[in-house]
Amino acid sequence: MGTQSGHQARHRLRADGLRLSDLHPGEHGRILEMGGSEHFRIRLMEMGLLINDSVEVDKFAPLQDPMEIIVKGYHLSLRRMDAEKIRVELVKPDE
């Protein structure tokens, strides 16, 4: 419940939707759109991050940046500024 309302609050922070960097550890997000340069988007694809994929946020580093996500069953680390370019929607773990 707490995370749900937290999500609502975070969601309201941005006019154009939730970002991967907004998710809390343990939350799952489905990728809707990837921004940033083409280089960046291709690099993410090469690492297995595709539109419509679900990813789980595992944790944030002790100094709060970067963050660790689980995608296609493996662990990947991204800087928050990069994760901010990825628009997601909150989904339930099994979706």
Partner 1 sequence: MSKVFSIAVAGNPNCGKTTIFNALTGTRQHVGNWPGVTVERKDGRLVYREQTYQVVDLPGTYSLSTYSIEEIVARDYIVQDAPDIIINVVDAANLERNLFLTTQLIEIGRPLVIVLNMMDMAYEKGLKIDTETLGIILGAPVVPVVGRTGQGIELLKEKINRVQTQISEKARYIEIPFQRDIETQIEIIRSALVQSGLPLANPRWVAVKLLEKDERIWKYLTDFPEKNHLREIVAGAVAQIEKIFKDSSRAAISHARYGFIRGAIQECVQNTIVDPVDYSRKIDKILTHRILGLPIFAVFMWLMFVFTFEVGAYPMAWIDSGVSWVVNTLYTILPHSMLTSLVVDGAISGVGAIAVFLPNIFILFFIIALLEDTGYMARMAFIMDRVMHALGLHGKAFIPMVMGFGCNVPAIMGTRILESRRDRILTTLINPFMSCSARLPVYILVAGAFFPQHAGTVIFAMYLTGVVAAILSGKLFSKTVLRGKSKPFVLELPPYQRPKMSALLLHTWERGQIFIRKMSTVILVGAIIVWALGYFPRDVKYATDYNAKYTHLKQTYQNQQVSVKQAFENSVAAQRRQYFSTMVPFRSSTHYQELTNQRDSLLQKNTAWYRTEVVKVDYAKNAEAMEQKWIGKLGKIIEPFVAPLGFTWREGVALITGFVAKEIVVSTYGVLFGVGNMATEQNPGIITSLKTSGMTPLIALGFLVFVLLYTPCLATMAAIRRETGSLGWTSFSIIYSLSLAWLLAYGLYRIGSALQWLS
Interface positions with partner 1 (CB under 8 A): 36, 38-48, 50-51, 58-66, 68, 72-79, 82
Nearer to partner 1, 11 or 59 (CB): 59
Give the tokens for residue 54.
């679900």
d(CA 88, CA 95): 13
Nearer to partner 1, 56 or 89 (CB): 56
Show the beta-strand stretches assigned E in the chain: 28-34, 54-60, 67-71, 74-78, 86-91
Nearer to partner 1, 53 or 89 (CB): 53
- At its nearest, how many Å lie between partner 1 and the CB of residue 80? 9
What one-character DSSP code corresponds to residue 19?
A: B
- At its nearest, how many Å lie between partner 1 and the CB of residue 53? 9
- At its nearest, how many Å lie between partner 1 and the CB of residue 3? 17
d(CA 66, CA 20): 12
